[in-house]
Amino acid sequence: RDEGVQDHMTVVHGDFKEENLLFSADGRRCAAHDFQYCGRGLGAKDVAYLFCSGLDSALLPAREAELLGHYHAELMARLSPRGMGATYTVEVLHVHLDYALADFVRFMDGWGYWGNNRWARTKVEAFLKRLE
């Protein structure tokens, strides 16, 4: 299934973990560095990587919906003035995150598990069952 994938492709960082993020002293600004894995993909790929490798495991799954809602609201606040993002609903984001997590778990299958891998594997198992 396409799930609107082609319509929502963007440039992704590809290694979006906390070690590659810099924050201002007041925590209101953030910058990413180390773009050696950047390319074309779904923005949810970077969200999946950050959720798996950069969040305190106590935040997931309890605050997953809240965090995704905040991400989506901030993304729309930046896209809407440019006439973009109208079809990128929070439901589409959730579907894209499922695909991105499946890809990230596949990656960890080869390199070893770290971070919030239990949460990610549980999400992917449920996603794969829904696809059957």
Q: Give the span between the Cα atoms of 46 and 83, in whole angstroms.
A: 23
Does the residue 9 lie in any domain?
A: no
Does the residue 25 lie in any domain?
A: no
pLDDT (tens place) for every residue of the chain, 132 residues total: 565 678 899 999 999 999 999 999 999 999 999 999 999 999 999 999 999 998 888 889 899 999 999 999 999 999 999 999 999 999 999 999 999 999 999 999 999 898 899 999 999 999 999 998
Does the residue 74 lie in any domain?
A: yes
Q: Please count the structural domains in the chain.
A: 1
Structural domain including 46 reads 42-131
Single pTM value for the model: 0.89
Does the residue 113 lie in any domain?
A: yes
CB 71 within 8 A of CB 46: no
Does the residue 36 lie in any domain?
A: no
